[in-house]
C-alpha cells in the first residue's frame, strides 16, 4: 500500500534515465566501431518520454547530436539550454526558418523551394544556415527525386560559395531496416552513394547519414559518418534479440477501490465478463483516455501484488477492473500496466502485439494531459 505522504499516482509514466544512458552508451559504442557519430532522436517529445530530459541523458552518455522532426521541437531544446548540434527535417510550407538559422539548428532540405526559403532566412538573419540535403532513396516520402538532385546540388553549392549555406550532410531514410537482409537496404545505400558523388563532384565533402535504430544495431556497413537511433534510445528493439537494450518507460497506477463480489456478478459495460466464484475485484483509475487501448479489453493483464492478474470486462475511458481472486489487495496498492518486463510485468511490446501495432505508438501515446511523467536516475 502507498505511503500516505508519498501516494501513488492515478496515472504516471516513470522514465528511467539510467536506462537511457545505458542504451545510448551501447549505441554510441556500436557506431564508434564504424567511426560514426551518434544522433539521438528525441522527436515527439522524446517518443513520449520527455525530449529535454532524454536529450540531456543521451548527450551525457555519448551522443553528439539530437534529432527532432520540427523547427518548434528544435527551438524548444535550445530554449531548455541544450547547445549540442540539433537536426530537424520535417517542414511545413510556411515554416519561418529565421529563428532556427539564428539558433544554429541543422535543417533538412528536400527541394529547391525549401533551399530558397532557408537561404532567404540566412540572408535575413545574417548567419550561415546549416543544411542537410535529402535524397529520396526509396522510402518515397520527403527527399529530392534523383532526376531533381543535380539541380538541387548545383543551387546548394552556389549558395555555399556565397557563404549563406553550409552543406553539412547528405542523408536519406531506410524503408525496411527492421529486416536487415531486405534487398531494398543495399539499393538505398547505393542510391545514397550515387547522390553523394554528385555532391563531391561539386567540390563538397559533407557528412553522410542513413542508419536508424535497426541499421545501427545490425548493419555497420550503413553507419557512414552518423547514425540516427530513435526507438532504441528508449530501450525498445526494432530487431528483437539483437542488443541488450533496457526499456525506459514504466506505466503505473494504483488501486482506487478493492472489494469482494459474489459469484454471478458481471463487470462493466456490456457485461462481457461474469465472476464464476466469489472474488476480489480491484478498480484501477486509468482507461483509454490515459493510453490504455480499448482493444485490449478481455486480453490484458497488469502486475499487482507481485504477480500478473487479468483485467476483466471492457477497458473504459477512465478505469479498468482487475480480478484478484482470493489474494489480499488493498486500496492504494501499486499497479504496473507495462514496464521493462524484468519482474514479469507486461511490456509495451506485448500491448503492441495484442493490438496489431508497434511499441513506438504505445509509448508515444502516453504523452497525455492526465498522465503524470516522473524521472528516476541519470541527469534531468
Residues with catalytic function: 43, 269
Q: In three state form, how does the secondary structure of the chain look?
A: CCECCECCCCCEEEEEHHHHHHHHHHHHHHHHHCCCEEEEECHHHHHCCCHHHHHHHHHHCCCCEEEECCHHHHHHHHHCCCCCEEEECCCCCCCCCHHHHHCCCEEEECCHHHHHHHHHHHHHHCCCEEEEEEECCCCCCCCECHHHHHHHHHHHHHHHHHCCEEEEEEECCCCCCCCCCCHHHHHHHHHHHHHHHHHHHCCCCCEEECCCHHHHHHCHHHCCCEECCCHHHHCCCCCCCCCCCCCCEEEEEECCEEEEECCCCEECHHHCEECCCCEEEEEECCCHHHCCCHHHCCCCEEEECCEEEEEECCCCCCCEEEECCCCCCCCCCEEEEECCCCCCCCCHHHHHHHHCCCHHHHHHCCCCCCCEEEEECCCC
Cell of 26: 551501447
Half-sphere exposure in the Cβ direction for 183 (13 Å, CA): 0
- Rounded to the nearest 5 degrees, what angle is found at the Cα of 301, between the Cα atoms of 296 and 302? 120
Residue indicated by cell numbers 561539386: 202
User: In whole angstroms, what is the distance from residue 197 CA to residue 205 CA?
Assistant: 9
**Cα 367 from Cα 353, distance rounded (Å):** 20
User: What gap in Å lies between CA 239 and CA 255, rounded to an integer?
Assistant: 35
Contacts of residue 183, Cβ cutoff 8 Å, sequence gap at least 6: none
Amino acid at each position: 500500500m502507498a505511503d500516505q505522504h508519498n501516494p501513488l499516482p492515478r496515472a504516471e509514466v516513470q522514465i528511467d534515465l539510467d536506462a537511457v544512458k545505458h542504451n545510448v552508451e551501447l549505441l554510441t559504442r556500436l557506431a564508434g566501431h564504424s567511426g560514426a557519430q551518434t544522433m539521438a532522436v528525441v522527436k515527439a517529445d522524446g517518443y513520449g518520454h520527455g525530449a529535454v530530459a532524454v536529450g540531456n541523458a543521451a548527450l551525457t552518455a555519448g551522443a553528439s547530436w539530437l534529432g527532432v522532426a520540427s523547427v518548434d521541437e528544435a527551438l524548444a531544446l535550445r530554449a531548455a539550454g541544450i547547445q549540442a548540434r540539433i537536426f530537424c527535417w520535417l517542414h511545413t510550407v510556411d515554416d519561418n526558418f529565421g529563428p532556427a538559422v539564428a539558433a544554429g539548428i541543422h535543417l533538412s532540405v528536400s527541394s529547391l523551394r525549401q533551399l530558397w526559403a532557408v537561404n532567404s532566412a540566412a540572408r535575413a538573419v545574417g548567419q550561415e544556415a546549416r543544411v542537410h540535403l535529402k535524397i529520396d532513396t526509396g522510402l518515397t516520402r520527403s527527399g529530392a527525386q534523383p532526376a531533381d538532385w543535380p539541380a538541387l546540388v548545383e543551387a546548394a553549392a552556389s549558395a555555399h560559395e556565397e557563404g549563406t549555406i553550409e552543406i553539412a550532410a547528405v542523408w536519406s531514410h531506410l524503408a525496411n531496416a527492421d529486416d536487415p537482409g531486405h534487398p531494398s537496404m543495399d539499393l538505398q545505400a547505393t542510391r545514397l552513394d550515387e547522390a553523394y558523388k554528385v555532391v563531391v563532384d561539386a567540390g563538397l565533402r559533407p557528412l553522410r547519414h542513413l542508419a536508424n535504430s535497426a541499421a545501427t544495431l545490425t548493419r555497420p556497413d550503413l553507419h557512414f559518418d552518423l547514425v540516427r537511433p530513435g526507438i532504441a534510445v528508449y530501450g525498445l528493439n526494432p530487431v528483437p534479440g539483437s542488443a541488450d537494450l533496457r526499456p525506459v518507460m514504466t506505466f503505473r497506477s494504483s488501486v482506487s477501490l478493492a472489494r469482494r463480489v459474489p459469484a454471478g456478478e458481471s463487470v462493466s459495460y456490456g457485461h462481457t465478463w461474469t465472476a464464476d466464484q466469489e472474488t476480489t475485484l480491484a478498480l484501477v483509475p486509468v482507461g483509454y483516455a490515459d493510453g490504455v487501448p480499448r482493444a485490449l479489453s478481455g486480453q490484458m493483464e497488469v502486475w499487482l501484488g507481485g504477480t500478473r492478474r487479468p483485467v476483466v470486462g471492457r477497458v473504459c475511458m477512465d478505469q479498468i477492473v482487475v480480478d484478484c481472486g482470493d489474494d489480499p489487495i488493498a486500496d492504494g496498492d501499486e499497479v504496473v500496466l507495462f514496464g521493462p518486463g524484468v519482474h514479469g510485468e507486461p511490456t509495451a511490446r506485448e500491448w503492441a502485439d495484442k493490438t496489431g501495432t508497434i511499441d513506438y505508438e504505445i509509448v508515444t501515446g502516453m504523452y497525455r494531459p492526465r498522465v503524470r511523467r516522473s524521472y528516476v536516475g541519470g541527469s534531468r
